[in-house]
């Protein structure tokens, strides 16, 4: 037997007891004998909740997605629900995506809930994540679960928890539930289902969700405009195939071509390197079909249908992929224009975004006299804003990672309704002789030119997590005083909850500053603002083994060509600094 850290073996030995099935125990024994590195990765910590719930590689161990880790989570959640809703009939809704084992794990989670006397509404087949958020409130549930790992690689799965408002868990509630889970032993899990408490749900919720999506995602587009728009859509082997084609058809969009090679749900995602619509190559098959069909627009969604990528024809006739910030700018501006035309803006509306998204959103929103709210990365924070400010109407909210939410009937990012909204905008723009790109150009000419860039550095496993931690420690302890020749005028440290505003001139004792408290929950994020208007944010991903750098630059130049050249130069200089360090 190869050497295994005694601390790891102590955790492993818990799994070599009769509580665990023979297949699990044999797999662990094989890892001990032949693959100690994988054994260490599987057991060195408990799989934790991150930005978008819990995600991990499927396999045996405390740091893996399996029947025992999810069973323990669900048992702890069941105990917590009973404490929070005493003497009530507790109900929960469960959905799942196309990933390997998702259907089986969803049934296992349903079994544990039912074994604890909790009524379960379980979708009988895969469904989009936003539909689960909708179903929680539609069915008056106290809780919801979706089994998904979004756009992570095929070996991953995940577990998202929603509360009675339809939004994901936020602190301190997530911490309270984790404490409840950590207090349990694996032997405490109740796996024996009460089938009488498990009800399968299908068309009723589907129809209600589709109706709500159409109500919230359509804006006075004529049938002629809809008929004139040629759309190519791909589900990238995910759940959106169950809902988006149907919603587009019911909304009047008949000229929609589906990429058939990617229409079948498949957890291997065989036609793409990554099922992530943020990556241009993920939409290549759809773009090829769009060229063949003479389409105006390409739309692709991630496996659980909560984010979407959009590609549109440029002035040369080829397709350009909008980044998440650009798509958010277009959708937000359009929504504000619609509300303004309908004379519905009265100072009691808000638009939401995140601290790592483009600062341009705030500039646009405040130009309409609408309240702008900003939170940490993740739509759970936007859902919390909707819940915390019931006196305000939520117009729309988005983040740079291709997610958007319209209204409040769903409390998570929603690619179904966002797809319909994009089609509405594209159809109206085409009728007026324009496109999404020309519309974006009009917005830039009014508010100034902004450009964003994301750098993601992958650091896998325990060693990678340590390297990311060391990188953030270095950036925190040795902060930049200038970046690419521009002085840092503000540094926000969300882990400390403190912002430093620096004087632009330096004294003999160094750069002086005033400090203020950041009124946002703590998170491992640093954001630099420089004198020339640039913004550089850095944070470890909460869902993937990555550290991310978000760069935003802007210029007030009136000349489009000149502005873009200035932005490219600024970006290149900042990227050079970050790569050097």
- Mean pLDDT of all residues in 31-53: 87
DSSP structure class, residue 523: -
Residue 506 has pLDDT above 70, yes or no: no
Question: Does residue 461 contact residue 155 with C-beta atoms inside 8 Å?
Answer: no
Residue 92 has pLDDT above 90, yes or no: yes
Residue 262 has pLDDT above 80, yes or no: yes
d(CA 260, CA 4) in angstroms, rounded, equals: 48
120 lies in the same domain as 242: no
Q: How far is CA 382 from the centre of its chain?
A: 11
- Mean pLDDT of all residues in 414-434: 97
Last residue of a domain, one of 414, 447, 480: 447
Length of the chain: 581
d(CA 345, CA 365) in angstroms, rounded, equals: 11
Q: What is the pLDDT of residue 476?
A: 93
Instruction: Please report the beta strands in 446-569, taking only residues with DSSP state E, as ranges in sequence order.
Output: 449-458, 482-483, 486-493, 498-507, 510-517, 526-530, 535-540, 546-555
Quick: pLDDT tens for 474-497. Answer: 999 999 999 999 999 999 999 999
Average pLDDT score over the chain: 95
225 lies in the same domain as 357: yes
DSSP structure class, residue 323: P
154 lies in the same domain as 283: no
- Mean pLDDT of all residues in 294-319: 95
Alpha helices by DSSP H, 509-554: none
Q: What is the pLDDT of residue 510?
A: 64
R_g (Cα) of the chain, nearest Å? 24
Which among 274, 87, 98, 76 is positioned nearest to 175, based on CA atoms? 76
What percent of the chain is modeled with pLDDT above 70?
98
Is the peptide bond between 226 and the residue preceding it cis, with omega within 30 degrees of 0? no
18 lies in the same domain as 90: no
265 lies in the same domain as 331: yes
96 lies in the same domain as 226: no
Q: What is the pLDDT of residue 66?
A: 98
Quick: pLDDT tens for 185-201. Answer: 999 999 999 999 999 99
340 lies in the same domain as 465: no
- Mean pLDDT of all residues in 438-464: 94
Residue 372 has pLDDT above 80, yes or no: yes
Question: Which pLDDT band, with edges at 50, 70 and 90, does 292 fall under?
Answer: very high
Q: What is the pLDDT of residue 320?
A: 95
Q: How far is CA 559 from the centre of its chain?
A: 35
Question: Does residue 275 contact residue 308 with C-beta atoms inside 8 Å?
Answer: no
**560 classed as catalytic:** no
d(CA 198, CA 201) in angstroms, rounded, equals: 10
Q: What is the pLDDT of residue 4?
A: 73
Q: What is the pLDDT of residue 336?
A: 98
Residue 341 has pLDDT above 60, yes or no: yes
- Mean pLDDT of all residues in 254-277: 97
481 lies in the same domain as 546: yes
Domain CATH for 94: 3.40.120.10
Q: How far is CA 284 from the centre of its chain?
A: 22
> Is 264 exposed, middle or buried, given 0-12, 13-18 or 19+ CB atoms closer than 10 A?
exposed
**Which of 171-175, 214-218, 325-329, 382-386 is the least confident region?**
171-175
Last residue of a domain, one of 170, 201, 232: 201
Last residue of a domain, one of 201, 236, 271: 201
Residue 317 has pLDDT above 60, yes or no: yes
Q: What is the pLDDT of residue 284?
A: 97
141 lies in the same domain as 55: yes
Q: What is the pLDDT of residue 52?
A: 67
183 lies in the same domain as 195: yes
d(CA 155, CA 524) in angstroms, rounded, equals: 27
Could you give the number of structural domains in the chain?
4
Residue 121 has pLDDT above 60, yes or no: yes
d(CA 478, CA 529) in angstroms, rounded, equals: 16
Question: Which pLDDT band, with edges at 50, 70 and 90, does 59 fall under?
Answer: very high
- Mean pLDDT of all residues in 563-567: 94
Q: What is the pLDDT of residue 503?
A: 77
Residue 21 phi/psi, 5-degree rounding, is -70, 165
108 lies in the same domain as 160: yes
Residue 1 has pLDDT above 60, yes or no: no
**What's the sign of the alpha-carbon dihedral 33, 38, 40, 45?**
negative
Q: Which of 42, 150, 401, 486 is catalytic?
A: 150
246 lies in the same domain as 148: no
Q: Which domain holds residue 17?
A: 1-44
Tell me how many degrees the CA angle 507-508-514 measures, rounded to the nearest 5.
35
Domain CATH for 569: 3.30.310
Residue 6 has pLDDT above 70, yes or no: yes
Q: What is the pLDDT of residue 504?
A: 63
Beta bridge partners of 399: 403
- Mean pLDDT of all residues in 293-300: 97
Residue 423 phi/psi, 5-degree rounding, is -65, -40
| Joined tokens for residue 238 | 């995910």
Question: Which pLDDT band, with edges at 50, 70 and 90, does 122 fall under?
Answer: very high
């Amino acid at each position: 037997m190869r050497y295994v850290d005694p601390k790891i073996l102590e955790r492993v030995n818990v799994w070599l007891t009769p509580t665990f099935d023979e297949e699990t125990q044999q797999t662990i024994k094989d890892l001990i004998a032949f693959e100690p590195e994988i054994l260490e990765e599987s057991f060195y910590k408990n799989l934790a909740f991150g930005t978008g719930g819990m995600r991990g590689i499927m396999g045996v161990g405390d740091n893996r997605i399996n029947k025992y880790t999810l069973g323990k989570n669900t048992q702890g959640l069941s105990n917590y629900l009973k404490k929070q809703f005493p003497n009530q009939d507790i109900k929960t809704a469960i959905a799942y995506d196309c990933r390997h084992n998702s259907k089986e794990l969803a049934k296992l989670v349903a079994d544990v809930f039912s074994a604890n006397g909790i009524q379960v509404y379980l979708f009988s087949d895969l469904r989009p994540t936003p539909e689960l958020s909708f179903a929680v409130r539609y069915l008056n549930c106290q809780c919801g679960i979706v089994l998904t790992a979004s756009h992570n690689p095929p070996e991953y799965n995940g577990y998202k928890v929603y509360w009675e408002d339809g939004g994901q868990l936020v602190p301190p509630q997530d911490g309270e539930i984790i404490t409840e889970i950590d207090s349990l032993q694996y032997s405490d899990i109740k796996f024996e289902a009460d089938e009488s408490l498990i009800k399968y749900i299908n068309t009723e919720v589907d129809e209600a969700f589709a109706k709500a999506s159409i109500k919230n995602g359509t804006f006075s587009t004529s049938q002629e405009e809809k008929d004139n728009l040629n759309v190519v859509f791909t589900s990238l082997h995910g759940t959106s195939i169950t809902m988006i084609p149907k919603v587009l058809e019911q909304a009047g969009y008949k000229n929609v071509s589906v990429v058939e090679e990617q229409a079948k749900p498949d957890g291997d995602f065989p036609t793409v390197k990554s099922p992530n619509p943020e990556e241009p190559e993920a939409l290549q098959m759809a773009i090829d079909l769009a060229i063949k069909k003479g389409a105006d627009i390409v739309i692709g969604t991630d496996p659980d249908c909560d984010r979407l990528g959009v590609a549109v024809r440029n002035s040369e006739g080829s397709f350009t992929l909008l980044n998440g910030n650009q798509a958010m700018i277009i959708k937000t501006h359009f929504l504000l224009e619609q509300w303004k035309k309908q004379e519905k803006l009265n100072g009691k509306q808000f638009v939401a975004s995140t601290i790592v998204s483009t600062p341009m959103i705030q500039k646009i929103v405040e130009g309409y006299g609408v309240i702008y709210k900003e939170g940490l990365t993740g739509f759970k924070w936007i859902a919390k804003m909707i819940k915390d400010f019931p006196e305000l109407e939520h117009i729309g909210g988005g983040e740079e990672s291709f997610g958007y939410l319209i209204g409040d009937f769903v409390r998570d990012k929603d690619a179904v309704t966002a797809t319909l909204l994009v089609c509405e905008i594209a159809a109206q723009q085409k009728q007026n002789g324009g496109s999404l790109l020309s519309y974006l150009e009009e917005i830039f000419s009014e508010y100034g030119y902004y450009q964003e860039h994301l750098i993601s550095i992958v650091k896998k496993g325990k060693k990678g997590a340590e390297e990311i931690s060391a990188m953030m420690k270095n950036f925190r302890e040795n902060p930049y005083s200038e970046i690419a020749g521009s002085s840092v005028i503000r540094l926000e440290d969300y882990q400390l909850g403190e912002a430093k505003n620096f004087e632009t001139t330096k004294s003999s004792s160094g750069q002086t500053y005033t400090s203020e408290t950041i009124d946002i929950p703590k998170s491992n994020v640093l954001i630099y603002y420089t004198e020339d208007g640039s913004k550089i944010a850095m944070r470890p991903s909460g869902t993937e083994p990555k550290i991310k750098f978000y760069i935003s630059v802007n210029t007030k130049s009136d000349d489009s060509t000149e502005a873009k050249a200035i932005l490219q130069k600024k970006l290149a200089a900042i990227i050079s600094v970050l790569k050097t360090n």
